[in-house]
Amino acid sequence: MTNPFPRDFLWGVATAGHQVEGNNVNSDTWFLEHLPGTIFAEPSGDAVDHYHHYREDIALIAGLGFTSYRFSIEWARVEPEEGHISVAELDHYKRVLETCLEHGLIPVVTFHHFTSPRWLLQLGGWESDSTPELFARYCDRVMAHLGHLIGVACTLNEPNLPWLLESFGIGGEAPENRGTVPMWAAAAERLGVDARTVAPFQFCSTEEGFQVKVAAHRAATAAIKAHRPDLLVGWTLANSDIQSLPGGEGIADQVRRDVNERFLEASRGDDFVGIQTYGRTVYGPDGHAPAPEGVPVNQMGEEIYPQALEATIREAHRIARIPVIVTENGLATEDDTQRLAYLETAVDGVASCLADGIDVRGYIAWTAFDNFEWIFGYRPKFGLIAVDRTTQERTPKESARWLGNRARQEDKVTATNPA
């Protein structure tokens, strides 16, 4: 049987700066974590101190057999105040990139993974017409310093997530209602702005937010390409496998349109689209339907459904009509046996897509380390590598060894049977 995985297929793990580096104190997310009435379960704090442990972390990832590492460059570190670029922080990320290359890992760099500088939130965040230009300016400065070291560029991470969260009843407040929400009211007071203008990336689901994010992605793409026309550039999308129960078809169709389809249409013309899928989302006549009784669930109470990834890859191929990279896929569980089984089914789904001629360029698992999972805090365990946050000791799980070995085996098969 012909091996469906191409020679240059990316096998990797992903992180995001705010979730692993620690002490991202100039970011809007750090600011929100510490507000009265915050919806964050706990603050990020030191996280897993990847900022200082990146050398051994990258060596560990490479040693497990992976060929790529996806991570973010934090805008709030690089530009802590508007117009002030920290060369020291750019040099830090230069060392991270060089360490990846020293260990044979292709760096997949995300320019914005949910977090923005606090000053951007004060200027209107992701509903402000000035944000696309400001974001593109930041991308330009990063590329001028680091562009020659980057392997693949992701502009924005999951710009569509707020619309999916809104369907779960998380966020989605109209600007005129934000002042009634304790966290937004506290943010407005601290920033000295009208609550209607508080629009962080993760929770911005207005039409203005959609337009600003699309414009920012395109402006950033142009800025990146100005330095490296050859560099693969795309954005990454949180695409759930949207399904319906009888009576829920209309709601499912609308969510699918808002969350998946229009963002895939906006991806046309990019070099690739990153697909980030964790399961299916089912809608009944009353909205989001909980997991069926008795099915295995993850730590957030969601059905474990790894087959969703194959469905969203096929949807992306059909609508965006460009190459796909799986830039996140994983399971929140304390039971690594569950995770391993989930990964095996998901990777088999990728192989099925490749066998059918769909151009899938990589599979990057979420996440390298048990880390800070945004509003849920440190309770969900997505990591392929466990971390003792008291000692910062790293311990690879069997799922990490299995996926790394799968990468090694596929590389050997491809080398033996080249396409």
Whether 242 and 280 have beta carbons less than 8 Å apart is answered as yes
Half-sphere CA count of 326, side-chain side, radius 13 A: 36
The catalytically annotated residue of 158, 173, 261, 328 is 158
C-alpha distances (whole Å) from 122 to each of 161, 191, 271, 323 are 22, 6, 33, 37
Distance CA 147, CA 152 (A): 10
- Examine the residue annotation and report whether 102 is marked as an active-site residue of this protein: no
Query: Checking phi first, is residue 280 left (phi over 0); if not, alpha (psi -120 to 50) or beta?
Result: beta
Residues found in the chain: 419
Degrees (nearest 5) of the Cα angle 294, 297, 299? 140
Distance CA 271, CA 323 (A): 7
DSSP 359-401: -EEEEEEE-SB----GGGTT-----SEEEETTTTEEEE-HHHH
Distance CA 313, CA 273 (A): 10
Q: Which residues are catalytic?
A: 158
